[in-house]
Structures are given as structure tokens and as C-alpha cells.
Structure 1
Amino acid sequence: MEAQQNSAPGRVLVVGAGPAGCAAARVLAEAGWSVVLADQHPVGRDKVCGDGLIPDAHAALARLGLLQAVMAEAQPVAHVGCVGPRGGRVDVPGSMAVLPRRRLDELLNRHAQAAGAAFVQARLERVLEDAQGRVCGAVLKQGAAALELHCDWLILATGAVPKALQAAGLCERHTPSAVALRGYVHAPALVGQIRALEVVWSQAVRPGYGWIFPGPGGVFNIGAGVVDSHSDLQGKGSKKDINLRALFDAFVQHYPPAAELLRQGQLQGELKGAPLRCSLKGARFTRPGLLVAGEAAGSTYSFTCEGIGKAMETGILAAEALQAAGGDAAVRQRYEAALQALRPRFAMYERANSVNAHPWLADLVIWRGKKSPKVLARMAGVLNETTNPGNLISFKGLSRLFFE
């Protein structure tokens, strides 16, 4: 099979039907490409996530033509409530929402299918290569059966678990960047009392943080997460001395609204944990015939672990790279350049992650945010991607907190 040499529609196999994979499938199918979208889970899969849709997710959903449908079901949220170790709080304004990933991913998948993508429930077994070593398809497993699909391009959007990256020869880091634990609590009595995306820092949950996000139908997403959770030695490492369940319990004990939520509400199912891949690190982004998108490429932000919007954005960038004129090398160069352009922002979030290790920094920023409209505006700018989060806690940024 020869590589796609121009912008004429071709055949694409997208493995992974999360936000990144569905975004790529939607854009390409809408442009007339033949798209197969594959995932090992059925449509409407569950995903361990905070479920928060911050402004970058709104922008990506608007680009995909799905924002109105999502907002019709999501719980709108007007603020992020930042709570410091000493109980100080500042509400940062922004256009946000909460929708459980099971439903969000279903809407994204159906949206891609509506544009012409074909969905297949199957898992990646291995990639196929032509005589020159270019990826030209994949072998998928459906139960005991093997399904061999050929394509002009393969997009891997398989999330944080590295197995697919390893199968494609693109994995550079086997361990995750972060881990998180979340549960759903049905507590209709607390609707209206917890209205913000509440993010809580304290010594009790150091070096992580806790959260409560209000979802639709009186269901709240509650969880705790830790960034930089694993050591990394030449791509391999082990989990640090972190007990996520103990961290979650400490968060509930420390933060009265969390304790009240679990006291009054009903936990739906079990608490579930998951790995995350952050900061555009841990994998090569391309090889001939193949692009990596979403969390497989490390599209989740460090510090906040927000990743839905950036996952969709990388999927859109992959689709746009394929649509532009040029051969294999030009497509790969275009896509890698687009991801590299995002790196400075990811780097700033890595710098801001020091708040999780040193919660007193949160106290300082919250204190000034309550007193200074300029500081609050810069915090809102972090949400809207007009302000770099690392600038708030740099030496210069901390100095400005006192002299503005």
C-alpha cells in the first residue's frame, strides 16, 4: 500500500473512541474520509475522570458542532472554587460544565458515526506494516476472532494504558504521570449547596488535591489525585509511596462538604482509580503511517489533571494534518509541529504543580485573589487559556501578588 500523497480523502483507522479518537473520526468523516473507529468497549464506555468541561473543552466541542447537544444534558457551572489549606476560598469565574464521561463519550461516538464513521468494538492486537516498514493497518481482536483492517493512516488514541503504544513501538514511558480515584455520589439534598468545581488543597492530601464537581441529576463527582505519582528511570519505574484510598479518606475527613456529601448521599458503585499521562511526554507522536493523539500522547495537564479539551484538540489537529496536502513526511511534520506549539502551556502547568507539593502556595494565591481583582482576573485567565498558570507562582508572579 502506498502512502497518502495529497489531501484527497483516504482510509483511516482510529483506535480509541474517547474524546481524541472521536474528534479525529468526526472531522475526517465529515470531510469525506473513510473512517473506522474502534474501541474495546461498547458505545457509552465508562472512564475514570473528574468529568469537568472547562473552556478549552467548550471550544473543541463547538469546533465539532456538539457543544449545544452536550450543554443540553450537562450541569452548567460558573466558577471553580479554589480552597486552600487554611480554609480560604476564592471562586474563579468561567464557562464550565459537568457531564459524566460515560454520556460524553457516547455523544462524541454517535456524533462521529453520524458523520459517516463506522464503529467497531474490538481491541488492538498489533499494527500491520508494509515492505518498507510503514504502518498500513492493524489486527483487531473481537473475542477470539481476529479482524485485519488496512488503511492509509492509523490514529492511536488509546488513553493512558501503554499497551497499544508498546504494540506500535512508540512507548517511551511505561509508568503513568499521575493517578486519580473518583466516585459518584447521589445527593439531591445538596444540589444548590455545592455549585462550583471545588478543588481543595491541604496538608492532609499533600502532594495531591481533592475535588467535588456537581453533575446533572443531583449526582456529584468526588475524588482525589496525585501528579508525579511514579518514578521514571529510562522509561520504566514504579509507583511512589502513595496510597490513593488513604488520600481520598483524608480529603473527606479534612473537608467538611466532602464528609457531608458522603454522609447524606448514596455512593453509586465503587470508587475507581485510573492512571493519567501528562505534559505531552512518554510517547513518540508519529511514525510512518501512524499518529498518536489524546492521552496516549500525554495530552492531560499536570497540576489540574484536566484533559478532555486538550484530548479533543489533539484529535482535531491530527485530522487537520491528514487533510492538508503532502505525503507521509509532511503530515507527520505538520502534526508534530502542532503538538510542539502546545508544549509551552503544558510546561507552565508542570511548574504550577508545585502547589500540590507545597499547599501554602494555594493559600497565598487565594488570599490575594480575594483582595485583588487583577489577581482574580489572572486566575480566570488560566481557565480561559489567556494566562499561564506557572506565572502565578513564579518568583515574579509571587512578588506581584504583594505589590499590586
Structure 2
Amino acid sequence: MNLSIEHLPPSCDVLVVGAGPAGSATAIQLARGGLDVVLVDQHTFPRDKVCGDALIPDAHTALKRLGMLRAVMARAHRVAHVGCVAPRGGRVDVPGTLAVLPRRELDDLLCRAAVLSGARMIAPARFVEPLLESERIVGARLRGAQAVRDVRARWVVLATGAVPQALLAAGVCERQLPSGVALRGYVRNPAMTGRIDALDIVWHRGLRPGYGWIFPCGDGLFNIGVGIAHSHRQLQDGGKRKKDDANLREIFDTFKRIYGPARDLMTGGTMEGELKGAPLRCTLEGAAWSKPGLLVTGEAVGSTYSFTGEGIGKAMETGMLCAEAILGGGDDEMTRSDYENGLRRLKPRFDLYERANQVNAHPWLADLLVWRARRSPRILERMSGVLEETSNPGNLVSVRGVARLFTR
């Protein structure tokens, strides 16, 4: 599936840089639309990717639109609930359309679908810099294992994730620091099968301003990790932001200590690989969405929800918006406008999840919410609606929303 950079053509209709969910979704749609697409990635596939691996309802919707839901679900581990665990130990299981599939497998499936759709996959190939004619980007310079090659394209799509190097090189990076950070590992412990059967998300004062998770991958394998959605809020001299003092490995150790299933999972299990960390870009912020000849999509444009750290579904959704804009056949200005208008329609939902992020900073809100949800089917239904994107997550933790928890 991976062609070396020596097979890079001199030109194509669209060059997509980054073959994760956003880049592959873009390439699938464009190739099916009849365009000549080159998809490149700095890693050969399959490759690992730091992520919680959860497929929440928006990911299912996006996969269905891509015609990939059946193939993915044939490999994924189905899950019926998100288990919300509050600081005082209260728990409520929120039903939803859920599954878990390690990103190594998911991304490989999507990348293969792009190739089967007609895209050419070149890897390893790292984005070095854009090719310019006047003010418009007309291609890119790429570095492979042993060569540097240029390719011209009518459009370049950056789907390079949260690491800012490509954004900086293209002149679209507005914030180098990430929105958040996460640390995760895989643990095999067949004895925990059945004991951990939901997407457990845990809030606790010892994890503030973040949260912990354990997601079952099937066959006795579990994804365990911790995340901080607002990891770079502190201002230093000059007004620039810096990383908060929170140490992810210390938070991970705290998670193992304060949450019994995490402690038992790690004590009786075997780590598969090392703990790995990664940055997050959230709330459709931190990068310009486009410039002449260039569109930015996926986590590079901030497609991750700040409250939950989930971004797979929205990455694919932004990628499909990108493809639709290019397939619209307009000129540069119209294509960019169509794409940016699509992102603007998504932005209010990201802002709502930013409001809901108060739960991570103030874990007592999780205590209150879980306490009421255990007693009120209506509150549980609203929490399920947040998962399914039919309810406003911000309303659950607004001043008015908190007041309603005492009266309903």
C-alpha cells in the first residue's frame, strides 16, 4: 500500500498531507469524486497513534457516510455505555452508540480505503515547505527516507494532527502550544474482561484539571490513560502561554492509586508497549483554516472536543467538509469560503463542549451530575443526548443547568 517517495508524481489535483482519519476521509471523498489524489504521511502504515481509541456516535455517523462503518465494526469491540465515575465514587452508565478500535487498525483501514478509492499513498514523506507562485500555494516539497521531491497540486490539504511543524512551515500556525495533552498505554489483563465493559471516564480531585479513562478493546486488552484538556493556560512574561505544572505521569500514577479497577488492571496485567503521550488541538482554534491553495483539516485545525478529548469523528467530518468544498468546483476564494463556512457551522458545538469542560476543572460538578442522573431518568437521557449530539453539553454545567439539577 505504501509507495516510496521515488513514486511521487510531478503533479496531481490534490495533495493530502497526513493519512489519519481526517486526511484519509478527505482522500476517499476526493478520489471517489474523480480527482487525482496523492496521500502522504511521515510514517509507513500501519502505525501506532496515541489516542483513547473510542468511537463515539459522531464517529459512527462519519464512518457510515464514508461507507466504512461495516468494515470498521467488523474489527471493533462494541460497547453499550460510557461509565461516568464521580470523585466520591458515584457512577452512572450512559447509553450510546459506542465502540473501541485501536488507531493502528482504524487508520490503516481508512488509509486502505483511500487507496482502493484511487488515491496514491506515499510514505514515509514529510512536509518540508509549500511551493509558492505569487501568494498562492501550488504544491509542496516532501522529504522521504532518502530523497526530497516536489509535487505540484491545485490544492494542498494539511491533515497533520496536533504537532505544529507543518502548520508553521505553511504559515498557518496561530498557536504553537497545544490545547491539551494525553498519556495512554495498552494493558492486557483477561481477568478484567467483564469487570470493565464500558468506556470508563473518571473524575477525581487528584486528577484535576484532567480525567482518567479505561476503554476495553476486546480480547482482554484495555486502553488506559489520563488527559488534561487545558494544559497550557498559564501566562508568562510577555503574555505567552506556558505549560501548567501538572505532570501526566504523576497523574497517571494517581489514577492507578485512587481508582480500584485501574489499580487491579495494572497490578494483574501486562503492558503492551510503553506509555505514550501526545498533544491535543481543540475547539477549532490554533491555526488558520485556509490560505490560497491550502486547506487545513482534522486535528491540525483543532477538531478535538475539549471536554471529552474525543476527536476521531469530527476529524473525519472536517475532512469530508474539505473534500466537498474542493469538489464544488469553485475558484480559490469560493472553495475556501465554502470550507470555512462549513467549519463555522460546527464551531458553536465545539464552544458548548468548551463550556462543559468546567467538569474537569471542578470535579464536584461530576459528583452533582452523577448523583442526580442516578435518580432522574430525564437527566440520564440528557447525558445520553450529549453523546448522541442531540443535547447541549454546556447546559448541564451552566449556572442555570446546575440549578435545574436540584429541581428536576
- Taking structure 2 as the reference length, the TM-score comes to 0.95
Which whole-Å CA distance do the structure 2 matches of 1:236 and 1:216 have between them? 43
CA offsets 1:41-93 (integer angstroms, 9 cap, x no match): 01112110000000000000001111001101110001000000000000000
- Deviation of the 1:237 alpha carbon: 3.0
Answer whether contact 1:182 1:273 (CA < 8 A) is retained: yes
Alignment-derived partner of residue 18 in structure 1:
20
SS in 2 for 1:12: strand
Alignment-derived partner of residue 290 in structure 1:
294
Alignment-derived partner of residue 98 in structure 2:
96
The answer for unaligned runs of 5 or more in structure 2 is 1-11
How many correspondences in the alignment? 394
Which whole-Å CA distance do the structure 1 matches of 2:297 and 2:246 have between them? 29
The amino acid that maps onto 1:271 is L
Which whole-Å CA distance do the structure 2 matches of 1:69 and 1:212 have between them? 24
Which whole-Å CA distance do the structure 1 matches of 2:149 and 2:342 have between them? 32
CA offsets 1:261-302 (integer angstroms, 9 cap, x no match): 001110111100010000000000000010000000000000
- Which residue of the other structure, out of 241, 256, 264, is the alignment partner of 1:252? 256
Distance change in 2, residues 1:111/1:235 (3 Å):
farther
Is the aligned partner of 1:369 residue 2:357? Answer: no
Is the aligned partner of 1:397 residue 2:372? Answer: no
Answer whether contact 1:299 1:311 (CA < 8 A) is retained: yes
CA offsets 1:221-240 (integer angstroms, 9 cap, x no match): 00000111013768953211
Which whole-Å CA distance do the structure 2 matches of 1:385 and 1:258 have between them? 29
The answer for unaligned runs of 5 or more in structure 1 is 1-9
CA offsets 1:229-266 (integer angstroms, 9 cap, x no match): 01376895321101000000001100000000001110
Alignment-derived partner of residue 204 in structure 1:
206
Alignment-derived partner of residue 109 in structure 1:
111
Answer whether contact 1:175 1:235 (CA < 8 A) is retained: no
- Deviation of the 1:144 alpha carbon: 3.5
Alignment-derived partner of residue 277 in structure 1:
281
- Deviation of the 1:381 alpha carbon: 0.5
- Deviation of the 1:325 alpha carbon: 3.4
SS in 2 for 1:211: strand
Answer whether contact 2:234 2:244 (CA < 8 A) is retained: no
Alignment-derived partner of residue 139 in structure 1:
141
The amino acid that maps onto 2:71 is A
CA RMSD of aligned residues (A): 1.1
Which whole-Å CA distance do the structure 1 matches of 2:102 and 2:329 have between them? 38
The amino acid that maps onto 1:359 is P
Written as runs of structure 1 = structure 2, the 5 A alignment for 1:47-86 is: 47-86=49-88
Which whole-Å CA distance do the structure 2 matches of 1:117 and 1:218 have between them? 36
Alignment-derived partner of residue 131 in structure 2:
128
The amino acid that maps onto 2:128 is E
Alignment-derived partner of residue 304 in structure 1:
308
Answer whether contact 2:234 2:243 (CA < 8 A) is retained: no
Which whole-Å CA distance do the structure 2 matches of 1:258 and 1:301 have between them? 24
Task: Give me the identity figure in percent.
Answer: 61
Which whole-Å CA distance do the structure 2 matches of 1:154 and 1:79 have between them? 39
SS in 2 for 1:215: strand
- Deviation of the 1:402 alpha carbon: 1.4
- Which residue of the other structure, out of 294, 314, 328, is the alignment partner of 2:332? 328
Distance change in 2, residues 1:161/1:387 (3 Å):
same
- Deviation of the 1:337 alpha carbon: 0.6
- Taking structure 1 as the reference length, the TM-score comes to 0.96
The amino acid that maps onto 2:36 is S
Distance change in 2, residues 1:327/1:141 (3 Å):
same
